[in-house]
Structures are given as structure tokens and as C-alpha cells.
Copies of this chain bind each other. A is one copy, B any other.
Amino acid sequence: MNYFSSNFKLGILGGGQLGKMLLNDTRKFDIYTCVLDASNEAPCKIASNEFHLGDLMDFDAVYNFGNQVDVLTIEIENVNVDALEALEKEGKKVYPSSKTLRTIQNKAAQKLFYIDNNLPTAPFSRFAYLSEIEDTINNGGLKFPFVWKAAQFGYDGNGVKVVRQFSDLEGLPTGECIAENLVPFKNELAVIVARNALGETKTFPVVEMEFHPEANQVEYVICPARIPEAVAKKAVEIALKTSKAFNHVGLLAVEMFQTQNDEILINEVAPRPHNSGHQTIEASYTSQFEQHLRAILNLPLGRTDSKVSGVMVNLVGAEGFSGNVIYENIEAIMKLDGVTPHIYGKKQTRPFRKMGHVTIVNEDLNEARRIAEEVKKTIKVISE
């Protein structure tokens, strides 16, 4: 198929920031792209060839949209998987596959997948209802502390809570969930694997993530991770094995814990471009977005090594501010060496909403990390 012609149409489910950055590369390659999103203010409304309004969880909306394109991908997991499965049965290329999405959408199913495929992950128990957790604690089958995770629709730290006592369970969603052992870890790591339909794979360097203690969102992504080579090698091997187990096509971001004794445990995966790969735009020979395109279009994969070191800082809405967004001191951070702000184009800010990110690149990782702290201290996402 000739992707570089207007007879070819790529469909993207979701029109948020990941889609927006992906569109940069569809524009670069002049690939005709259609986007489906429920919001008329979606960042992807601009730069797509066709923007379609529709609910990503609605069977008909997804099915009818998918029928108009040649290859279908996602920028968010929460889409109607039945529609994708129906499209696949009719021969449509859907990456990631409905099977992979179904497994990943449900955290319990995702964990069972790791067990079934002999992939390392923290021990856990599965519960149909939150109330079952209390019963199990009461009868001695589960001990504090543990990590509660909603089985469905968690995103960016929502749907995850460390539970140390009964009162921590109050107010949580009552539905299906898992209780995972609290893993004491040295580092949170991530590896993004690209795999095309021919089974060709490439991995981006292992990155290290630092999370905001309250919001449970990534604060810094550091590339390369400052870990021993043997640990990095193990993380890459596990990521590759995971991608293969899913028979995945496209990007798979594998988030992992490096435990106190340097074990690697899979935390969770995302079958798409990921926050832990944003620094690839400036730091890598091939950005994760271009690589995702190459993978799903079965093009040769690009080089994944880094030109320079990179640190990524998320720009999230400051606490106490809601409304029309202002990026306070953005000009001040643009004075700093190797600093590139990415503004996602969401009009309204609210506490901890992802509004953009800033990449800091430098020959010297420590210098990039130092400047990243300065960026973090200087810029503030507030409202008018």
C-alpha cells in the first residue's frame, strides 16, 4: 500500500496531546490522517486532514469511523474494543489489536497476562467488588499496606491508591479492582518497544521516572536512566519479551519497578506513544511518534539511540487554579539552554491536568537535570 498518497487514510482514535504530537509526523510524511474525538476543542482538530466528532466508547461511532480508514490506531486506551474487533474481522488493520487493548484495559486481565506469559510482576489479588477487599483483610487473606487499583479506566494516576488502613478504602470506586503488593523500589523505569508487522523490533533507551508524590503523575523523565548496565539490559529484555507476548504492532511502553535487590517487575504497559518517551522528540534519532507511525505502517523502524541526553518535565495545572490557562514565566524558561516547551493547546487548566511538557536536552545529563529543576521551579500553569 502506498502510504504517501492521498488514497491512503490513517485513522486515530482520540484527539488529545499524544495525537497532536503524532500529527506532527503524519504532516512530515504527508500521510492523510483522520481523527475521532468527542470534543470539538480537541488539540487534534487542527493538523488532521479530517476531524470527526464522536464518542470513543460508542460502538457505532468507532465502527463507522474505522470503516473510512485503511489503518486504525489509538492515542488513548479507552475506546470501544468491540467495534475494533468487528473491524478486524472484516480485515481492517487495527494497531494495537482489539485483543491487546482488551487485556490492557482491564488491570486484572493485564496482570493475569503477565503471569500467563511468565513475565515478572508484583504479586496481586483480584476482587470483583471493593467490599471483597475488606472481607479478605478481615479474614486474614490480605495485609496492609497494599496498592489498590481499579481494574478499569485508570489514567494518569487516577484509579491507584496506596492503602495502609481501612479508612484509605473510603470513597474508592466500588467496582472490580486488584490489590497488589507494595513493592519497595529504587527506581521506576520505562522502556518503549517499537515492533512492526514483520516482527522487527527496536527499543528506546531505558528511562528513569520521578513521580509527583501527591498527584502520582510523572514529574521528570530522565534519559538515559542512571542505572547499572546490567539492570538496563534486564529491563530491555523484559520489555521486548512483553511486546512479543502481545504480538504487538506499534509502540508498547513498558513501565517497570527496579526493586531494592535489582529485580525488574512490570508495573503496567501502554500500547501507544507514552509520556515516558516525549524527550525522544528532541533527544533521539527518531521520535517515539515517528517510530509509532513507522511501526503501524510497516515501514522500516528508525534509530532509537540518543543524540544527546534528555530530561522531560510535565507541565500540569497548579493547585488552586482552574479556568483559562496562562503559562507563567514561559519566556523565562525559554532563556535556558536546550529548553523546548510543548504546549498541548487545552484552553482550560485545572489542578494536575496535563497541559504540556518541557524537554531539556544537553550533552551532559547532569546539566540537563539541573536545568530541568530550574524549569520546574520557574514555570507555573495557572489561570487568568
Q: Range of interface residues on chain A?
A: 35 or more
A47 neighbours in B (Cβ, 8 Å):
23, 27, 46-47
A344 vs B47: C-alpha distance when bound (angstroms): 14
Q: How far is the CA of A335 from the CA of B301 in the complex (A)?
A: 7
| Stretch from A145-153, A212-220, A323-331 that touches the partner | A323-331
- Enumerate chain B residues within 8 angstroms of A335, measured Cβ to Cβ: 300
Which of A27, A327, A345, A347 gathers the greatest number of chain B CB atoms within 10 Å? A27
Q: Which of B300, B326, B330, B337 contacts A334 (CB 8 A)?
A: B300
A290 in contact (CB, < 8 A) = yes
Interface string of A295-329 (1 = CB under 8 A from B): 00001101100011000000000000000101100
Q: Is A102 part of the binding interface, using a Cβ–Cβ cutoff of 8 Å?
A: no
Contact B46 A327, beta carbon cutoff 8 Å: no
User: Would you give the shortest CB distance from A289 to chain B, in whole angstroms?
Assistant: 12
Whether a CB of chain B sits under 8 angstroms from the CB of A341 is yes
A49, CB-defined interface residue at 8 Å: yes
A286's closest neighbor in chain B, by CB?
Answer: B340
Find out whether the CB atom of A331 lies under 8 angstroms from the CB atom of B299. Answer: yes
Q: Within the complex, what minimum Cβ distance (angstroms) separates A90 from chain B?
A: 26
- Smallest CB-CB separation from A294: which chain B residue? B334
Measured between beta carbons, the chain B residues less than 8 angstroms from A339 are 302
Let me know if A178 is at the binding interface, CB within 8 A: no
What residues make up the interface of A, taking CB atoms closer than 8 Å to B?
2, 4-6, 20, 23-24, 27-30, 46-49, 285-286, 290, 294, 299-300, 302-303, 307-308, 324, 326-327, 330-331, 334-335, 337-345, 347, 356, 361
What would be 9 A-B contacts, judged by CB atoms less than 8 Å apart?
A2-B326, A5-B326, A20-B27, A24-B28, A28-B343, A29-B341, A299-B331, A302-B339, A307-B361
